[in-house]
Amino acid sequence: MTEDSRSFLNRRSMLTLGAGAAAALVASGGVAEAGQSGAPSDAALARSLPGGFRSEYAQVDGVRLHYVAGGRGEPLILLPGWPETWWQYRAIMPELAKRYRVIAVDLRGMGGSGKPRGGYDKKTMARDIFGLLRTLGHRQAHIAGHDIGAMVAFAFAANHPEATKTVTLMDVSHPDESLYQLPMLAPPGQPVNVWWFAFNQVAALPEQLLAGRSRFLVDWMFDHLAADPASIAARDRAIYAAAYDRPDAIRAGNGWYQTFGQDIEDQKAYTKIAAPMLGLGSEFNYDYLAAVLPSKAADVRVRKIAGSGHFVAEEQPRAVTDELLTFLG
């Protein structure tokens, strides 16, 4: 591994993995908060957004998928990351819905979606989204994802090119063998290591430790991975914690990490993505995406979201909206 790749890896371990880490943390503890705090329902949250959004469910290959949809036009599917839900896109959905049919989906294992015992490899999760697209009567869609959702978006474009108009990856790419080189200890000067990547590989223990305590993890993730932690308000943190606090949600979220080995093997068989690809990188991960994505697709552009940490759609929603609208045309 070259010095450049180590540099990108270290940068990635702070945020790209932080994304995954977030998935592990939220997965490890967000649901109990819902019952304990009386967090608003998805239906109420959807109605609170301008643009006529509605909370809906679909049964796809035996898995119930929750999604929130609104607007008219070509379908634009938004896939969230960890430790969040569809709600992470709340600030960009209304504007996007003026031009597109916006469909923000809780991934398998997330939020209001089902939490089966398996199927958390990104290829299978992408098949969920393909099935949802067909169930809703669409042949093609623009696909955008953040964190774990970006991994699924990549897998969607790789496995279902006929259904992919464009693909946008926010701050994360698909798992590859560089994950095996991540340090357990943070190098000097690096404030965050990716301890949650290892922690989420442990079976059963996280559920025992984290059930009912997810808010501590959610707060830690936002406080350490956002450039401006105040951009994710206490109410929003409570909503996320409520989605990850139950043992089944913790187990499911950990499943996203426990399948990285399979994801890496699947990625080896993928050819270059044919659809136009946009990478939106935070201040921490832009250089990594700019170095990696050109080898992943034939038509790639990478943009930096200035002033943002990992949670780009919440920290800098105007910039993310503008980049998406420019890219999507």
> 3-328, superfamily in CATH?
Alpha/Beta hydrolase fold, catalytic domain (3.40.50.1820)
List the chain pLDDT tens, one digit each, 329 residues.
Answer: 333 333 333 444 444 433 333 333 333 333 333 334 478 999 999 999 999 999 999 999 999 999 999 999 999 999 999 999 999 999 999 999 999 999 999 999 999 999 999 999 999 999 999 999 999 999 999 999 999 999 999 999 999 999 999 999 999 999 999 999 888 887 787 766 778 888 888 999 989 998 999 999 999 999 999 999 999 999 999 999 999 999 999 999 999 999 999 999 999 999 999 999 999 999 999 999 999 999 999 999 999 999 999 999 999 999 999 999 999 99
Residues 6+ apart with CB under 8 A from 208: 247
Specify the pTM: 0.89
- Residues 6+ positions from 181 with CB-CB distance below 8 Å: 1, 6, 9
> Mutual orientation of helices 214-225 and 234-244 as an angle, nearest 10°?
130
DSSP 67-130: EEEE--SSEEEEE--TT--GGGGTTTHHHHTTTSEEEEEPPTTSTTS---SS--SHHHHHHHHH
H or E, element range at 142: strand 141-146
Domain limits, the chain: 3-328
- In single-letter form, the type of residue at position 179 comes to L
